[in-house]
Amino acid sequence: MRTDAEKILLTEKEISDKVKELGQAISSDYENEELLIVGILKGAFIFMSDLVRSINCQVEFDFMAVSSYGLSSKSTGVVRIMKDLEQNIENRHVILVEDIVDTGLTLKYLLENLRTRKPASLKICTLLDKPERREVQINLDYCGFQIPDEFVVGYGLDYAEKYRNLKDILVLRPEVYNK
C-alpha cells in the first residue's frame, strides 16, 4: 500500500498530538456543557474515535453518512444522505466532525440541513483543510492541519475504499487515482 504513496504528509505522532490539542480546545470551550459529536462516515470515524477520547466533558455521539465522491477522486457536488442522525439535535450543542474539507460543498449542504433542526450551537471540527480547493466559504471552528492540494489517504481517508487503515496520512501517487 505504501508503494502507492508519493510521501508521508503527516505522521502518526503528528496526528496524535494534534488530535489531543483539538480535544483540549473543545474541552475548554464546553467545560460545563453536554456535547453531541456527529461524525461523518466513513472518513471521520478514526479521527472521531481518537478525538472523543481526548474530550473531558459529557459527550454523546451520532453519525451521518453522506456521499459526494462515490468511487471518484473528486467531489461530484451532489450530496446524498445515506444515513441520517438517530438523535434529535434541537437545543443541543453539536460539533460536526469531518476528516477533510476541500471544496466545502458537502459541508455547506450538511450545515444548512442541520441548522433547520435548531441546535443550540453547531460547530465544525476537521482534521484536514484544503483551502486551495474551496468553492464556498466555510468557517472552521477547530482545524487540525491545513494541507496543500494533494490527494491524501490514511487515518480514515480513502481512495475507492482502500487505505483507510494506514496510521499516517500519505499523498497518493496520481497514477493510482488517474486510471
102 is an active site residue: yes
Residue 67: per-residue pLDDT = 79
Asked whether the beta carbons of 128 and 154 are under 8 A apart, the reply is no
C-alpha 98/C-alpha 39 separation (Å) is: 7
Residue 75: per-residue pLDDT = 54
Q: Which of 29, 50, 62, 102 is catalytic?
A: 102
C-alpha 126/C-alpha 40 separation (Å) is: 10
Residue 9: per-residue pLDDT = 97
Residue 77: per-residue pLDDT = 61
459541508: which residue's cell? Answer: 107
φ/ψ (deg, to 5) at 176: -75, -40
Q: 26: helix, coil or strand? A: helix
**pTM of the predicted model as reported, rounded to 2 decimal places:** 0.91
Residue 78: per-residue pLDDT = 74
pLDDT by 10s per residue, the chain, length 179: 568 999 999 999 999 999 999 999 999 999 999 999 999 999 999 999 999 999 999 999 999 998 775 544 455 567 889 999 999 999 999 999 999 999 999 899 999 999 999 999 999 999 999 999 999 999 999 999 999 999 999 999 999 899 999 999 999 999 888 87
Query: What is the CATH number that goes with domain 2-177?
Result: 3.40.50.2020
- Three cell numbers written together for 114: 442541520
φ/ψ (deg, to 5) at 68: -140, -5
Can you list the pairs that 64-71 forms with residues at least 24 positions away whose Cβ atoms lie under 8 Å?
64/38, 64/39, 64/40, 64/110, 65/40, 65/41, 66/40, 66/106, 66/109, 66/110, 68/105, 68/106, 71/160, 71/161
